[in-house]
Amino acid sequence: MRFVAGEGLWQTGPPVPPPPAVAVLEVAGAVLAWTVDDPAAPVQITFTDITAADWVWRVTGAAGHVALVDALHGTPADAGGTVDLPDLTLDPGALAPLRRLAIGHWLRRWWPASVGDAIVDLDAAVLDAEIAVLTASAQEFFTEDTLDSDIDSLLQPHRDILVAYRLDGDPRVAELAAACAELADWTPAVDDAVPTQRHRDDYALAAGWDDSATGPAIAGGARTIAWTTVPPAVFDAAEDNVDWSVHTDSTGAVVASVRTAVRGSAAGIEVRLRCADITAAGVLTADGTATLTLEISESAAWNQDWTATELVVGSPGVGEGRQLRDRMRELARSRLSGADDAFLAEVLAAESDY
């Protein structure tokens, strides 16, 4: 096995694609990454602290662990440096539960739910509950706190829902909720819980602007929000999920109205418009709309070529391309059709009416 130095850290395994096509899990002293839609692809391991990765023997054996620490500890990870350990191998069986856990976190961050694409949303409480149980069963890999080891942060936002789910008519959900209640040591008895019906909220393009208070549309169009530039579970993941329109408002000022297809609150997410030297910026409201004032006269707006207008929602930077998004949509559809490693939240989504 070969370890290559990069950015001051030692890494082994094949290259992985950029988000959203990579499933990542941070364990003690290392970050594990897999190509999310290639179950046969080996893991990529980046050691952040080899001395903290006291789980390594579980995947390499005791002798392999000793050899790895001896080789990497204290060896500067200078760019271009390599360390070869030809006798070192990884146990795929020991890594399998970690890959499944990484897939769970991928589902939380990147699941491309969309009404238009007919990709059903996942029940966040059920998904987080299953991830929490999996995390608890892999505690030997989380001997130090990591971003992915916090069980309480997974369960606490869904506490009331999960307590109620213990009364769910579906025994699979009730059993999972009961396991989480025991794991989190929640005190309310099941008799005190109020039954709640699991449901999936529909969502769609935010309601349009009030045409009665605006002039005729001068220009407009649709753009796609890059998944990597916005928080998870806020926007419908379809293409062309944000509309923009340039027009005058009730005072005669030229404005750009923006509306997005939302799944959750979009409050405070940045939006920027640029066309040649015309720029405007603002933030979305909770329902995914914004009105941006343009420093241009109405006559100039009518004479402006708006075909090259750029509209960016979320953080600056180049997002992923459509080809990668389509690849992730295909993965989601294949998982809903019956993946061997499907999470209960996926099974329930596939069973639900859309």
Tell whether 225 is covered by a domain: yes
102 and 137 share a domain?
no
Tell whether 351 is covered by a domain: no
Residue 235's closest CA among 257, 272, 206, 256? 206
20 and 72 share a domain?
yes
Residue ending a domain, among 164, 192, 220, is 192
Residue 94's closest CA among 64, 127, 132? 64
128 and 106 share a domain?
no
In angstroms, the CA 203 to CA 271 distance is 20
- Where the chain has pLDDT below 50, the residues are 190-191, 199-202, 204, 207-209, 212, 354
In angstroms, the CA 349 to CA 231 distance is 22
Tell whether 335 is covered by a domain: no
Tell whether 319 is covered by a domain: no
Question: So what's the pLDDT on residue 201?
Answer: 47
Burial 14-47 (b: 16+ CB within 10 A, else e): eebbebbbbbbbbbbbbbbbbbbbeeebebbbbb
Question: So what's the pLDDT on residue 190?
Answer: 46
Residue ending a domain, among 192, 223, 252, is 192
In angstroms, the CA 339 to CA 343 distance is 9
Question: So what's the pLDDT on residue 194?
Answer: 52
Number of domains forming the structure of the chain: 3
Residue 183's closest CA among 214, 146, 139, 216? 139
165 and 257 share a domain?
no
Tell whether 141 is covered by a domain: yes
240 and 305 share a domain?
yes
Residue ending a domain, among 110, 134, 153, is 110
Number of helices followed by number of strands (H, E) in the chain: 10, 13
Tell whether 198 is covered by a domain: no
Question: So what's the pLDDT on residue 121?
Answer: 96
55 and 128 share a domain?
no
100 and 9 share a domain?
yes
184 and 280 share a domain?
no
Tell whether 334 is covered by a domain: no
Domain that holds residue 90: 2-110
Residue 111's closest CA among 331, 337, 342? 331
pLDDT tens-digit profile of 22-51?
999 999 999 999 999 999 999 999 999 999
- Sequence letter at residue 210: D
9 and 100 share a domain?
yes
For the chain, report the end-to-end CA distance as a whole number of angstroms: 47
Question: So what's the pLDDT on residue 167?
Answer: 84
Tell whether 329 is covered by a domain: no
